[in-house]
Structures are given as structure tokens and as C-alpha cells.
Amino acid sequence: MKFALAAESRVGARSYNEDRMGVIWSEHALLLLVADGMGGCEYGEVAAQIAVDVFMENFRRSAHPRLLRPMAFLQRVVQEAHEAIRAQAQQNRLHEVPSTTLVAALVQDGKLYSLHAGDSRLYLLQDNQLRLRTHDHSQVQRLVDRGQISEKEAQSYPGRNHIYSCLGGVLNPELDLMDGVVLQGNETLLLCSDGLWGPMLNEEITRIFHGREPQLVLPALMNVAERRAGESCDNLTGIAVTLLAEQDFIAGRAGYIDSSRVSLAGFEQIPAPHLER
């Protein structure tokens, strides 16, 4: 598997970063994660970090070098992450259980597997088209679905950050799944928190990646989102991966990865970057 990768997280206009992300791959499998700790709850960044850590550790234990049942893996591990967050709250006697959104994407054997809870998103882009996009678990998304407001109006709608599914918290998460979507080649996957997609329209995100390397596009996209949001800019995190055909791969180019060249340990990863609380 050959791909071009870019990943970045910024604090925005907030005092600290509650977003977390992780990227890990073996010879035949690639796992991408974005988690956005819930603002207004104690230690949202702790919940986000636990979620990413649980997924990364389970991948290291299970992908040798591929996962036997990718969708079952995601479903099992998301429940483990949810329970680990709740256990952490109980152990530390927190006033409330911390919570986080999560979007996870797994690429293996030419197929995409994904699940999400909350409003961190996955976009699947190909040939200047939006093939797929996750559906937010939010009140404002319900209004868009009913035709009561437009996508543009949703950007500034009061309470647009109110979501009804997350990891941690009191209730079990409501999950949406993508099970084995066949990849045709040269797709781009974008995983991001709402701080990145919030100020952008779908067509803008689709258009900006067309024919361009994610290593160049992602920083520019984050600059635009940060500038538009201004003083209200949330934490913003993005992972962009373009799957490459053999003839498009440039050995030695920054951000270009050949998964057959993993370390002797069998894995390579990008640690989840974060700012101290």
C-alpha cells in the first residue's frame, strides 16, 4: 500500500487543545483516528487521548500484518475505548464522565471500514467528487436533514455543537458504520474535527484536494478555516491521506509512504500531538 499523508492539529483561538489524533500502519493495514474532547466537560482532552490510545494499542496487538475482521475490530475497540473512559472517571472520582467524539477509518485490502460517534467527520473524495461523508450526530444536522436550514446556515446556527452521541458520558454511543467500501484508486480520505470542517462547505473541501498533494493542501485548508473562524476558532485537527497507484508514488518524497517498508517491529505511527492543559 502506497499513500501520501499529512496530519496536523492546532489550538485555534482556545487556551488549550482538546483534539487528539493518531495514524498507524502495518504492511497491509492503515488506521486513522480523530477525537475531539467535549468542551464544557471535565478533562475532555483526557477522554480523547484515551480513545486514541486504546485504538492504537489494539491495532499494534492485532494487525499482523492485517486484521482478520476489520469491521468487528473497530466495533470491539470502540466499546473498549468507551468503557476505558468511564473507568478513568470512576477511578479518579471525576465530577462528571469526560466524553469525546471519534471518527476512525481503516484501509485494508482495497477497502475502507469506518465508524464514528459525534461530529468529527470522514470525507472520501475522488476525481473532484465527494463519494462519501459521515453524517453528524448533532441537532443542527437533523435540521439540515429536514430541510429547515441549509448547510451554509448551519455554519452559524446557535447550538451547532450540540451532539447526541459520543464516547464516555452517561449513555452508550450511537455509531454509524461504513463496512467494506471498495476503493477504486487515487481516493483521498480526510478525517477532521469540527474546528476544521465547520467554516468550510462540502464543495470547498472537495475542490481544494483535487489533483493536489495532501501535504500541501491540509495546511492551506487549516489556514482558511482558522482565518474564517477568527476569535471563535475551535481546536482544529485534520488527517489527509491520498492512496497512490504505483506509477504515482515518488520514493523519498516527504509525506510519501510505502507500507511494505515498515520497521522491524511491523508498525509505523504518528503519535497523537497535543498541547498541555
Over residues 188-197, the pLDDT tens digits come to 999 999 999 9
Torsion of CA 66, 262, 5, 107, to 10 degrees: -10
- Give 102's strand partners: 117
Report the alpha-carbon distance of residue 229 to residue 243 in Å, rounded.
Answer: 30
Please name the residues in contact with 237: beta carbons below 8 A apart, sequence gap of 6 or more: 8, 9, 10, 19, 20, 21, 34, 36, 192, 193, 195, 196
Side-by-side strand order, sheet with 121-126: 129-133, 121-126, 188-192, 236-243, 2-10, 256-258
DSSP string, 199-212: TS-HHHHHHHHTTS
Express each pLDDT in 90-128 by its tens digit.
888 777 888 999 999 999 999 999 999 999 999 999 988
Express each pLDDT in 229-267 by its tens digit.
999 999 999 999 999 999 999 999 999 999 999 987 889
3-class DSSP state for residue 264?
A: coil
Residue 41: pLDDT above 70? no
Residue 180: pLDDT above 50? yes
- Taking the CA atoms of the chain, what radius of gyration do you get in angstroms? 18
Domain residue spans of the chain: 2-270
Residue 81: pLDDT above 80? yes
Residue 52: pLDDT above 50? yes
Express each pLDDT in 213-234 by its tens digit.
999 999 999 999 999 999 999 9
- pLDDT at residue 149, rounded to an integer: 87
**Which residue shows C-alpha cell 452521541?**
165
Query: Average pLDDT in the 73-79 region?
Result: 98
Task: Please provide the average confidence, as pLDDT, over all residues in the chain.
Answer: 91
Express each pLDDT in 132-168 by its tens digit.
999 999 888 888 888 888 888 887 777 777 899 999 9
Q: C-alpha cell of 177?
A: 458504520
- pLDDT at residue 274, rounded to an integer: 46
Select from 134, 107, 120 the least CA-distant residue to 31: 107
- pLDDT at residue 107, rounded to an integer: 98
Query: How large a percentage of the chain has pLDDT more than 70?
Result: 96
- pLDDT at residue 265, rounded to an integer: 80
Which homologous superfamily does the CATH classification assign to the domain defined by 2-270? PPM-type phosphatase domain (3.60.40.10)
Better-scored residue on pLDDT, 42 or 22 = 22
Q: How confident is the model at residue 42 (pLDDT cuts 50, 70, 90)?
A: low
H-type alpha helices, the chain? 44-62, 70-91, 139-145, 151-154, 194-197, 202-209, 214-229
Residue 273: pLDDT above 70? no
Residue 272: pLDDT above 50? no
Report the alpha-carbon distance of residue 20 to residue 10 in Å, rounded.
Answer: 10
Distances (CA, A) of 4 to 22, 217, 242: 16, 12, 5
